[in-house]
Amino acid sequence: MAADPIEAHDEPAPPAPVDAAALAPILEALLFASPEPLGTAAMKKAFGEEFPRDVLAEALEILKEQTNTENRGILLTEVAGGWQFLTREDCFPYVRRIARTQREEKLTPASIETLAVVAYKQPVTRAEVDAIRGVASGPLVRSLMDRGLVKVTGRAELPGAPFQYGTTRQFLKHFGLKSSRDLPGPKELGKLLGERAG
């Protein structure tokens, strides 16, 4: 893969087109090359901080319309505070079968249940997760932290000041959510977590 296009380099930025239609394919290349969602501030680094934000926004809309209305296997989606190409839902099962970058074991039903509790109740202590599930959840919470889906968000104002847990940016990215406010209903979330658990 080419060098990270978002990192600042000593050389000056090449001149960027001020026409949104001409800018759209450049944004497509940036998004394609980036393993993480790109915010508009990160995109502007490729063109210089003075680049007009309105032209960037218009180019994103053009690219989104082109990508999301044509018969394509990807969608341009706003996720985890940035923009990223995601696999279309009806194409995802095929991608999952050949994906070689994630050979981890799939999340177990107990892990999915624990993750759902953390997602809906965050910030939540491990004792609260245990009480909701009716069983000890410590190893499951640690496993979800190892996967980058759950993190410590602080300490509760309770005796012993236990840790509180919440979901991560990686959780949003992995499950295609813009923010924690976009969590679907419990039934839909369980289905989503199960489909994208691997």
Residue 7 has a pLDDT of 45
H/E run at residue 60: helix 53-69
Instruction: Report DSSP letters for 1-62, one per residue.
Output: -PPPTTS--SSPPPPPPSSHHHHHHHHHHHHHH-SS-B-HHHHHTTT-TTS-HHHHHHHHHH
Quick one: pLDDT at residue 58? 92
Q: Do the Cβ atoms of 160 and 151 come closer than 8 Å?
A: no
Instruction: Check: CB of residue 162 under 8 Å from CB of residue 113.
Output: no
pLDDT at site 178: 83
Structural domains present in the chain: 20-98 (1.10.10.10), 109-195 (1.10.10.10)
Among 167, 164, 165, residue whose Cα is nearest residue 183: 167
pLDDT along the chain (198 residues), means of 10: 44 70 89 86 80 87 87 87 87 75 68 91 93 90 91 91 92 84 73 61
Cβ(119)–Cβ(171) below 8 Å? yes
Give the model's pLDDT for residue 144.
93
- Torsional sign, CA 163, 166, 170, 174: positive
pLDDT score recorded for residue 166: 95
As a whole number of angstroms, the distance between CA 43 and CA 20 comes to 14
pTM above 0.75, yes or no: no
Predicted confidence at residue 8, as pLDDT, reads 44
Instruction: Tell me what pLDDT residue 174 has.
Output: 82
